[in-house]
Structure 1
Amino acid sequence: MKFNQLLIVFVVQVFLRTTYGEPINKKFPENFLFGTATASYQVEGAWITDGKGENIWDHFTHIHSDLIANGDNGDIACDSYNKYQEDVAMLKDLGVNFYRFSLSWSRILPSGFTNQVNQPGVDYYKNLIAALKENGIEPYVTLYHWDLPEPLQELGGWPNPDLADYFAEYARLAFTLFGDDVKNWMTFNEAKQTCQLGYGYGVYAPGVASDGIGDYLCAHTVLRAHAKAYHIYDEEFRATQNGRVSMVVDTDWFEPDSDSEEDIEAAERRIQFNFGWYANAIYHPDGNYPQVMIDRIADRSQQEGFPRSRLPEFTPEEVEYIKGTYDFFALNTYTTSLVKWSDDYPIGTPSWDADGSVTVYQDSSWNSSASGWLKVVPWGTRKLLNWIDQTYDHPEIVITENGYSDHGELDDQDRINYYSKYLSNILQAILEDGVNVTGYTAWSLMDNFEWLSGYTEKFGLYQVDFTDPNRTRTIKSSAKFYKNVIATKCLVDTCEE
């Protein structure tokens, strides 16, 4: 965008930076869908049961237990592999329209390759899907939520371009096995976390530190892999299965620190480097990476002495192949950050942050959660939804994750406050701004393994007792609140009809 366009967007949206206020007394549209979510490594446990293979998070938590809070891992987690029927009963009681969960690639394909299919793993997911359908709950299935089979990591992981083909073969198998009952597919969840934290900063599995190089190679493969899976569905399955395919992209809202030209440009640059990096190639009418990324990374790479840009280049054919590979816009969002202009970082060691060269921070007065990165800023989500609507040609948006962390309290009023205020801003975006949001997914159904934080941060609507071998689930106040919202489509005691 040119500056004049950015300024218009800023001026139009500036009124949205408001106090939290009370939730509005309007109803969600009748066709609006509510769900909740989990992910395979975070809840299933049974890490090596019934023929499952090792994945990168199994490997990482066992080798680098010192990097995880309390040395925790997902070996047992919530034991959902054995307790899925109890999970479905919780979902039924909540009254959700859908349940978003992910398949463990290693549980279905222990080696990562389709030549060896693990039938007990297939049966587990077939049984879970059947139980959901029997209770009137639609399965929303993610093919990849960060847990790459370890044998594929030993071939180089996502920076290896051949993984696009291995993923496509896995996707075809999943569509074949489960597609008659699954109508909503997501290829990847938050690929930026996979690539930036796993192959850039190196703090998440597989722990490869290659900032400014490995992260870009990873993203390039992931985008090609997504497109291959989408086209496979489109060409081989859509006519008979009548489903939808998307890729989940995550972001904060990035608010300019001021109305200066520099800060507005810095905020736009940040969202393009953070969100457009993945979203543009798929969702933007022009496809490809954001031009600001292409230009800046090429320029900095040249100054650093590289013979070509560290950001891989899509051919014109690849741009066309990837562009438009979605049936709805799948969005994960939790919080907001402020952005200030910064002079370009000095030329030196390559890094994604240096390529973007902005200052990002959060206001210390914003309400906090148990996660250092998660501040409660409801108005930011409304502004993000408007930005997506304007930038990506008014797509249908499904919010595939949104939630709040605490320390596991049963009477979790802060989570209720978060949900009510965020949902209110989402509803305002729908009713007042005309943004086409059709679904909302609360993260998460129950407390689970939260990556480097282990079990110290709790996002669940249901409490899980991780000291009890039975992993007892207990309903929280927020689940009762959410159940009422789903039943009434209303955030307050009485809504206007």
Structure 2
Amino acid sequence: MAIQLGSLLFGLVLVIGFSLQSSEAATDPPVVCDTINRTNFETGFIFGAASAAYQYEGAVQEDGRGPSIWDNYTHQYPERIKDWSNADVTVDQYHRYKEDVEILNDTRLDAYRFSISWSRVLPNGTLSGGVNEAGIEYYNKLINKTLEKGLKPYVTIFHWDLPQALEEEYGGFLSFRIVEYANLCFERFGDRVKYWITLNEPYAYSVKGYALGTFALGRCSDWQQLNCTGGNSSIEPYLVTHHLLLAHATTVDLYKTTYQVRFMDPITSGHYPHSMQVLVGHRLPKFKEEDSKLLAGSFDFLGLNYYTTYYASYAYHNNSVNASYITDARVNQSPELNGVPIGPQKKYDSPLIYITENGVDELNDPTLSLEQALNDTVRKDYYHDHLCYVQAAIK
């Protein structure tokens, strides 16, 4: 059940794709759509586009912005990025946000989801380290331009770009601090932003950054031989997950009390799943009673970053040797079967859901002409089929 906080809604973006037990695979016949257009969707359906500060803004050394862990990671370990690139410029939204919002408006979208760069507004990560008013001004202008064009801003508070200063000071989310930053966002932007997303894909942040070493900070256990920067894949992902959940709950509680007088089970029940407690044992951090109370029901909607479906089956693993977050789940996953996602609706009492990301990438081929590149049937078919199934799910 969604709980509305006045005119404001809180969400948590949880997953990249759905994982279904193979025994639960949907057997419904394929849905066929002859045509897809806006009139096929009921009034109130929201079409939008999404971005993230580090991936879009550029201007990493302009107007007082401090470095994030991703700036440090891509410059210190450029070989870990496939093409040795970084996000120093990207699509330069910091300078071209007006053009971008105009494009969104011309496309007749209803909403724009973007994130705030923590290190752009708090270069050193904390209020005591100083507020960067130039960064505040940029987001004020972006929010105002979005509203001016009739678009609803959906704002992500944390999209992986932790200030490097906090990582160096106390290990980032291996420790626990976020409230000052969230409070600043509410204080400066909350009069216009009514849809807040606390965390983007905490699973990806904790697993890829601390168990696989493929995201900043690039940490994992030595035995995995993945050329990581240090770490412990059997413990650190759980600590980061734990602190992310507490940060989420504390942030929501901050708004409720100050301004309004594995991830799903904790925020619905206040506890980790029983199977997770059994498999992970003493390595899984424990919630205090007051933490469980804060977590239970600490969302108004769920943001699903939905790209594809994976089917899962049991995989044996002996955790007494080389324990890791990755093997603790005891699961094999396969993307090769087609089906209808059934998990959140069935298990968590039909929560309010926004699809906060959706899409398909394609390998860059610089040899293609513009005409050939625009003949992008892969992505056209992808969006057509997904919208077709979304339409069927609504009905």
Category of TM-score, reference length = shorter chain: 0.7 to 0.9
CA shift digits 1:220-264 (9 cap, x unpaired): 00000011110111122246xxxxxxxxxxxxxxxxxxxxxxxxx
1:46 aligns with 2:10: no
1:14 aligns with 2:62: no
> For 1:319, which of 292, 296, 300 is the aligned residue?
292
Of 134-143 and 345-354, deviating more is 345-354
Q: Give runs of aligned pairs for residues 364-443 of structure 1, distance below 5 A.
A: 377=338, 379=339, 383-384=340-341, 386-407=342-363, 409-431=373-395
Of 196-205 and 137-146, deviating more is 196-205
Match in the other structure for 2:9: none
C-alpha distance in 1 between matches for 2:173 and 2:49: 31
Match in the other structure for 2:253: 231
Match in the other structure for 1:289: 272
Q: Give runs of aligned pairs for residues 56-95 of structure 1, distance below 5 A.
A: 56-95=69-108
**Any conservation in 2 of the 1:280–1:289 contact (CA below 8 Å)?**
yes
Q: Give runs of aligned pairs for residues 249-398 of structure 1, distance below 5 A.
A: 277-282=262-267, 284=268, 286-298=269-281, 309-345=282-318, 347-363=320-336, 377=338, 379=339, 383-384=340-341, 386-398=342-354
C-alpha distance in 2 between matches for 1:173 and 1:344: 45
Match in the other structure for 1:449: none
SS in structure 1 at match of 2:100: helix
Match in the other structure for 1:129: 143
Q: 1:20 to 1:428 in 2, by over 3 A?
A: closer
C-alpha distance in 2 between matches for 1:206 and 1:109: 20
**Match for 2:165: what amino acid?**
P
SS in structure 2 at match of 1:205: coil
Match in the other structure for 1:154: 168
C-alpha distance in 2 between matches for 1:181 and 1:145: 20
Match in the other structure for 1:248: none
C-alpha distance in 2 between matches for 1:47 and 1:136: 29
- Alpha-carbon deviation of 1:346? 5.1
- Alpha-carbon deviation of 1:11? 7.7
C-alpha distance in 1 between matches for 2:79 and 2:184: 36
Of 191-200 and 73-82, deviating more is 191-200
Q: 1:200 to 1:353 in 2, by over 3 A?
A: closer
**Any conservation in 2 of the 1:345–1:357 contact (CA below 8 Å)?**
no
C-alpha distance in 2 between matches for 1:94 and 1:159: 38
1:216 aligns with 2:233: no
Q: Give runs of aligned pairs for residues 441-456 of structure 1, distance below 5 A.
A: none
Q: Give runs of aligned pairs for residues 179-194 of structure 1, distance below 5 A.
A: 179-194=190-205
C-alpha distance in 2 between matches for 1:56 and 1:12: 40
Q: Compare relative contact order (CA 8 Å, sep 6+) and give the higher one, 1 or 2.
A: 2
SS in structure 2 at match of 1:57: helix
Q: 1:201 to 1:11 in 2, by over 3 A?
A: closer
**Any conservation in 1 of the 2:319–2:328 contact (CA below 8 Å)?**
no
1:33 aligns with 2:46: yes
Quote the RMSD (CA, aligned, Å).
Answer: 2.0
User: Which runs of 5 or more residues in structure 1 are unaligned?
Assistant: 1-8, 240-276, 299-308, 367-376, 432-497
User: Which runs of 5 or more residues in structure 2 are unaligned?
Assistant: 1-20, 221-231, 365-372
C-alpha distance in 2 between matches for 1:155 and 1:60: 16
Give aligned pairs, total: 353
**Match for 2:45: what amino acid?**
F
TM-score by length of 1: 0.68
Match in the other structure for 1:106: 119
- Alpha-carbon deviation of 1:124? 0.5
Identical-residue share of aligned pairs (%): 36
CA shift digits 1:334-383 (9 cap, x unpaired): 112232322233521110122111222332xx7xxxxxxxxxx5x4xxx3
